[in-house]
Amino acid sequence: MKSVRDVKILQNIPVIVRAALNEPVANGVVGDSFRLARALPTLRYLQSRGARVVVISHIGEAGTETLAPVAKKLGEMITHVSFCDQTIGSKAREAVRKLAPGELLVMENLRRNRGEVMNDLTFAKELAHLGDVFVEDSFDTCHRKHASIVTLPTLLPSYAGLLLEQEVAELTKALSPKSPSFAIIAGAKFSTKESVLDALLKSYDKLFIGGALANDFLLAAGHPVGSSLTSGADAAVIRKLLNNPKLVLPIDSRLGKKGTLASSARVAGLDDVATDEMILDHGPGTEALLASIVGKSAQILWNGPLGNYEDGYTQSTDALAHAIAASSAYSVIGGGDTIAAIEALNVLDRFSFVSTGGGAMLDFLADGTLPGIKVLDT
Ligand code: 3PG
């Protein structure tokens, strides 16, 4: 990838930056600024070189949210930020024309226009009218074949931003870990994890399957899972993975019924699950097993909370976060929910690298690249 640092002249040039500004917003208030903080180095770099910076991003999935509160928050973190309530069109172009060197303009949510997710060429051309140079800095969306990710870069000279460069460098290192290495992948749908599991089983010494994803494996191994969430994965495919000696599965669980509080969960062995019970977290035996593997590992990779985190089943996730934070291993984590869980424990700074990607991180680890990276100038 060519780097934004390779652009010779930036003074007075309108530069489009695809940034990751999709932070949680409730009642008009930005709840977290982790991604905004990570967007700053590229924005500051461009600002200091006198570029006129046009920031494009999405927020939310439905295409209904506005980036206005996020632009306001960004304005508290970096100077000269304004917001345009349009993404494309004459009003948007006029606002860009008025930008002075060093000023930033955040355009409205890309996904308000269906052309973004439909990867529509006309929409991408409209975006291209906003600048002379394109900088990709939204690693978290580089797995999406959307107009701003895979088509806009083909219409302008295109460069990687500083965050994207850092993500690629760190996750490339995570593709060939130092031994003894330990990967932890949790989440739900097996179909969305199958290729990354295959890749990690080749490069890591041990791979723990956690969260609801583990239920598919426990079921295929012949354990009862009661009413737990499973993803209907092909048991024959999972059985093949079960034969791999690198695979580590939970050895006990915390069980509940619908509405059971995490504090009243029942700790049980793998074969002690009633038909009306659900596996909602891993148990203390699993926590101890994970801590012992972490303690012997030189490099660790983790994506996905282990238990039903949003309903308060945080114990095994918290225990794993504390174990990694206390270890001297090189640790890489990613995924919005995983980061939120670790932030809540105040140990995020104990991790060696925190990826801004969730699905993008998994796809990068599976394929070694992403559609939004492949398309950049080299
Ligand atoms: C994320 O939040 O993981 C990325 O920003 C991608 O968002 P999306 O899943 O809505 O495409």
**Ligand 1 midpoint to CA 237 (Å):** 28
Q: Which pLDDT score, from 0 to 100, does residue 75 have?
A: 98
Mean pLDDT over the full length of the chain: 96
**Ligand 1 midpoint to CA 305 (Å):** 17
Q: Which pLDDT score, from 0 to 100, does residue 161 have?
A: 98
Q: Which pLDDT score, from 0 to 100, does residue 337 have?
A: 85
**Ligand 1 midpoint to CA 141 (Å):** 6
For the stretch 177-204, pLDDT in tens is 999 999 999 998 899 999 999 999 999 9
Instruction: Going residue by residue through the chain, which has 378 residues, state the pLDDT in tens, using 9 for 90 and above.
Output: 999 999 999 999 999 999 999 999 999 999 989 999 999 999 999 999 999 999 999 999 999 999 999 999 999 999 999 999 999 999 999 999 999 999 999 999 999 999 999 999 999 999 999 999 999 999 999 999 999 999 999 999 999 999 999 999 999 999 999 999 999 999 988 999 999 999 999 999 999 999 999 999 999 999 999 999 999 999 999 999 999 999 999 999 999 998 899 999 999 999 999 999 999 999 999 999 999 999 999 999 999 999 998 899 999 999 999 999 999 999 999 988 889 889 889 999 999 999 999 999 999 999 999 999 999 999
The best mutation among 34, 116, 144 to test binding of ligand 1, ranked by most ligand atoms within 8 Å of the C-beta, falls on: 144
Q: Which pLDDT score, from 0 to 100, does residue 84 have?
A: 98
Our answer on whether the CB atom of 358 is closer than 6 Å to any ligand 1 atom is: yes
Q: Which pLDDT score, from 0 to 100, does residue 210 have?
A: 97
Our answer on whether the CB atom of 335 is closer than 6 Å to any ligand 1 atom is: no
**Ligand 1 midpoint to CA 170 (Å):** 20
Our answer on whether the CB atom of 49 is closer than 6 Å to any ligand 1 atom is: no
Our answer on whether the CB atom of 138 is closer than 6 Å to any ligand 1 atom is: no
Q: Which pLDDT score, from 0 to 100, does residue 336 have?
A: 84
**Ligand 1 midpoint to CA 337 (Å):** 12
Our answer on whether the CB atom of 276 is closer than 6 Å to any ligand 1 atom is: no
**Ligand 1 midpoint to CA 283 (Å):** 30
Please write down the HEC assignment for all residues of the chain.
Answer: CCEHHHCCCCCCCEEEEECCCCCCEECCEECCCHHHHHHHHHHHHHHHCCCEEEEECCCCCCCCCCCHHHHHHHHHHCCCEEEECCCCCHHHHHHHHCCCCCCEEEECCHHHCHHHHCCCHHHHHHHHCCCCEEEECCHHHCCCCCHHHHHHHHHCCEEECHHHHHHHHHHHHHHCCCCCEEEEECCCCHHHCHHHHHHHHHHCCEEEECCCHHHHHHHHCCCCCCCCCCCCCCHHHHHHHHCCCCEECCCEEEEECCCCCHHHCEEEECCCCCCCCEEEEECHHHHHHHHHHHHCCCEEEEECCCCCHHHCCCHHHHHHHHHHHHCCCEEEEECHHHHHHHHHCCCHHHCCEECCCCHHHHHHHHHCCCHHHHCCCC
List the residue whose alpha carbon is closest to atom 1 of ligand 1: 140
List the residue whose alpha carbon is closest to atom 5 of ligand 1: 140
Q: Name the phi and psi angles at 330, rounded to 5.
A: -75, 120
